[in-house]
Amino acid sequence: MNLRTGAILVTATLLMSCSGTPHTPLPTDLIETRLAAPLDNVKTALTQVLTDGGYDVEWKDDSTLETSYREEMHGPGKRLYRWCFGTIKSRVNATVKAADDRNTALKLEVLSEGKDGIFTSWEQVPSALPQGADNQLRLIKNALQLL
């Protein structure tokens, strides 16, 4: 094998290893629904459920709620553990609006990111079941005592 053939093989190998399938975005973990409860009751239940779930809740205005990332692990070595071994972290965005005196429109979105080692970066992953939008809605309905 001469030098020119070797260079062509190396170049072809590098090009093939760098190409890959395009990264397709995951579907959003989003729920839009109407709850048979007054606006203030839904806001209270939403705040309580997310706080109990480990989120720091912040109301941006009267209808928009945002959380920080959920505290997945506790302890002094948590940052090192996450950096080395990875984990899934999630946060929630919600919008509530009064549909009328007795009903409230709720839009709930759970955003999750994950990584699995030192040399990987955070990327969008499916929500873990306990933090998923379906389960959060179920907990909110339970807090409101809705069937």
Domains of the chain by range and CATH?
Answer: 27-144 (3.30.530.50)
Please name which of 94, 115, 102, 80 lies closest in space to residue 50, comparing C-alpha atoms: 94
What is the rounded distance in angstroms from the CA atom of residue 61 to the CA atom of residue 13?
54
Residue 104's pLDDT band, with cuts at 50, 70 and 90, is very high
Instruction: Name the phi and psi angles at 113, rounded to 5.
Output: -130, 150
**Residue partners of 128: CB distance under 8 A and separation at least 6:** 88, 90, 112
What is the rounded distance in angstroms from the CA atom of residue 89 to the CA atom of residue 87?
7
Q: What angle do CA 82, 56, 141 make, to 5 degrees?
A: 110
Claim: this prediction has a pTM higher than 0.75: no
What is the rounded distance in angstroms from the CA atom of residue 118 to the CA atom of residue 87?
11
**DSSP letters spanning 13-57:** HHHHHH--PPPPPPPPEEEEEEESS-HHHHHHHHHHHHHHTT--E
What is the predicted pLDDT for the residue at 128?
78
Residue 29 pairs in a beta bridge with 110
Q: pLDDT digit string (tens) for 42-93?
A: 999 999 999 999 999 999 999 999 999 886 655 666 666 666 666 778 899 9
Paired tokens of 128: 């873990």
